[in-house]
Amino acid sequence: MKQELITLSPIDGSEYVRRPYASESQIAQTLQRAQSAQKAWRDVPLKERMAVIGSAVEHFVANKAAIAEAITRQMGRPLRYTPGEVEGFAARARHMIAIAEESLKPVQVAPQDGFTRFIARDPVGVVLTIAPWNYPLLTAVNSIVPALLAGNTVILKHSDQTPLCAELIYQAFVAAGVPEGVFQYLHLDHERVQRLIRADEIGFVAFTGSVRGGRSVEEASAGRFIGVGLELGGNDPAYVRADAQLDHAVETLVDGAFFNSGQSCCGIQRIYVAQALYDDFVERAVALTKQYVLGNPLDADTTLGPVVRTAAADEVRTIVGEALAKGARNLIDEAQFGLSRAGTPYVAPGVFVDVNHGMKLMNDECFGPVVGIMPVSGDEHAIELMNDSPYGLTAAVFTTDEDAALSIGRRVETGTFFMNRCDYLDPALAWTGVKQTGRGATLSAIGYEHLTRPKSFHLKTRI
């Protein structure tokens, strides 16, 4: 069993972070503190919880520049973009604070003479948040803030690739005066995580990651009868309808495919274009893709950084190789992106045509800067292909006809359906998925329902 985590920066392969994994005694102490603190924290008035969590968010944002650089060095996203994730963390947290009172108030039932009846929303206890590296703040905040506001305590286990994010969030909460034990973090390997999930003190697990990781979480929690939220993979589709505004569709979808080097669960991987627009769409998408600058993410001019590690780049190249062997064509010349070469985490963007659903590129998750484009004959054909996937996180249609968008959206198997946008998360809406994308929901008022349990009160006031 490994005794420490070592984070290698994808920028140059150098060691960036080294931390010891938590010992068994440290894990036990963390669980005890969380369970003990939760009993007092749940009794703190909601407005006070809102105030201290709001203060923690402000402390966090005040350190934006350092946090942004830490994200870039740990996982490779260009520094020009990482401050936006700090801002997104704050925006989501502030929204969940703003709706907390309404979302957590008791559910009132029809009056009945001589009785007081209502359904309270009780905290589930200790919440374990397991966060990934690709959006290390945005994935974590989705459960951390509403869990704390609901009266739970939280233990955060972050990816070994982005351990500093856990530490930086913790520092902000300490600076805000959050009571000891209310928010903690642990650095753990997979074996220790599984044992932690089995601990009696854990009342809910919020996991974001791979399908394989989600299965591991379910197996570890089996028989414990606790809630488990799973936000897993995706290979999200978009449909460019014949009436779409073409320039907008191209600009939005190319960004949706390549932002964060394609390492987004809700990034666009499959594009279906109405036959009448297909050639123009492909030509413009290729021209826009060629404008990307693949380079050191600390450089101001870089718009496409490395993927997270060389092994991940190898997986992308394997999927690309399979597609090419089956007849796909890549319209982007890799030689135009000098850093892209085997044995490195730097991968050139790829725009693939002559693709089909017999290729992993179009039927599995590929966490890299690649996208496949197919022509379709119309709405029915597009819907059939959009639904031909083991995943279902988001899907998008580009059209000027809202009624058509709603009609298509009702038939597409997905957690979120967009019109004229993609690769976005609105904290006022539930973030959820279908099929192998997982189960449960975060954010919105519905997110609070998964971090609380109903408790019915039936009081006979007249005897």
Q: Active-site residue among 58, 180, 201, 231?
A: 231
Residue 155: strand, helix, or coil = strand
Under 8 Å CB-to-CB from 332, ≥6 apart: which residues? 286, 289, 290, 348, 349, 350, 351
Please answer whether residues 55 and 155 qualify as being in contact, where contact means their C-beta atoms are separated by less than 8 angstroms.
no
Residue 311: strand, helix, or coil = helix
Nearest to 149 by CA among 68, 46, 239: 46
The strand pair at 416-419 and 394-398 is best described as parallel
Active-site residue flag, 365: no
Please answer whether residues 236 and 393 qualify as being in contact, where contact means their C-beta atoms are separated by less than 8 angstroms.
yes
d(CA 181, CA 29): 10
Q: Which two tokens stand for residue 1?
A: 């069993």
Residue 270: strand, helix, or coil = strand
φ, ψ for residue 34 (rounded to 5)? -65, -45
Under 8 Å CB-to-CB from 28, ≥6 apart: which residues? none
The strand pair at 329-330 and 268-274 is best described as unpaired
Please answer whether residues 80 and 302 qualify as being in contact, where contact means their C-beta atoms are separated by less than 8 angstroms.
yes
Please answer whether residues 149 and 104 qualify as being in contact, where contact means their C-beta atoms are separated by less than 8 angstroms.
yes
d(CA 307, CA 76): 7
d(CA 127, CA 183): 10
Just list the catalytic residues.
Answer: 231
